[in-house]
């Protein structure tokens, strides 16, 4: 029976360095876009409150429900990740996220906006459990370094959102900004 190190080496040899590095950077970019599109929405709250005529309480309920959906689905993705192709789960998650972002931007009511954000959470929930598992499998000898790098890219996306978000919202409007983010989510996915 082969030792674990022998199996790990055999799996590593099946994936070329180019494939491994490409997967790393696509996963990092995806994680960054995920956090950017999530973070940019908070910059849009004043416009959304005004356009839909909602209160801070209603906005708070939306955020709470969205967070609950994301948490539940993130756990669900963690449970199915060992049994599914991680690349397909990540791609599907980004496509679902992009569709939700587009739906949010096109929504004609606060309920539609909230439904769009729920779809966003359904897609973005794949990122942490699936992405971490995928990178851990690709880089078993450098797992910590690669996961740290991936988390750093998420931080870059989260940091950039409140800096670039106001510029985009003022220049394009909140709806157009979301539509651009939806395309970016799908392209990266």
Tens digits of per-residue pLDDT, 6-52? 434 444 458 888 999 999 999 999 999 999 999 999 999 999 999 99
- 161 contacts 35 by C-beta, under 8 angstroms: yes
- Please give the pLDDT value at position 15: 82
Strand, coil or helix: 11: helix
First to last CA, the chain: 38
Closest CA to 37 of 70, 78, 77, 81: 70
pLDDT mean values, one per 10 residues, the chain (189 residues): 43 76 93 93 94 95 93 92 92 94 96 96 93 93 93 95 95 96 88
H, E, C per residue of 75-129: HHHHHHHHHCCHHHHHHHHHHHHHHHHHHHHHCCCHHHHHHHHHHHHHHHCCHHH
Query: What is the pTM assigned to this prediction?
Result: 0.86
- Helix %, strand %, coil % for the chain, to 5? 90, 0, 10
Cα(116)–Cα(39) distance, rounded to whole angstroms? 15
């Amino acid at each position: 029976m082969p030792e674990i190190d022998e199996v790990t080496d055999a799996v590593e040899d099946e994936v070329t360095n180019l494939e491994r590095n490409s997967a790393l950077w696509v996963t990092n970019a995806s994680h960054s876009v995920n956090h950017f599109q999530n973070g940019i929405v908070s910059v849009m709250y004043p416009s959304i409150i005004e356009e839909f005529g909602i209160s801070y309480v209603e906005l708070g309920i939306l955020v709470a429900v969205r967070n609950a959906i994301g948490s539940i689905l993130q756990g669900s993705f963690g449970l199915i990740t060992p049994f599914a192709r991680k690349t397909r789960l990540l791609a599907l998650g980004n496509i679902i996220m992009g569709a939700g972002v587009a739906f949010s931007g096109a929504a004609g009511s606060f309920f539609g906006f909230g439904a769009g954000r729920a779809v966003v959470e359904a897609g973005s929930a794949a990122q942490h459990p699936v992405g971490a598992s995928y990178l851990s499998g690709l880089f078993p000898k450098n797992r910590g370094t690669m996961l740290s790098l991936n988390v750093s890219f998420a931080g870059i996306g989260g940091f950039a959102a409140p800096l670039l978000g106001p510029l985009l919202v003022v220049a394009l409007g909140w709806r157009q900004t979301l539509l651009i983010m939806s395309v970016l989510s799908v392209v990266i996915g």
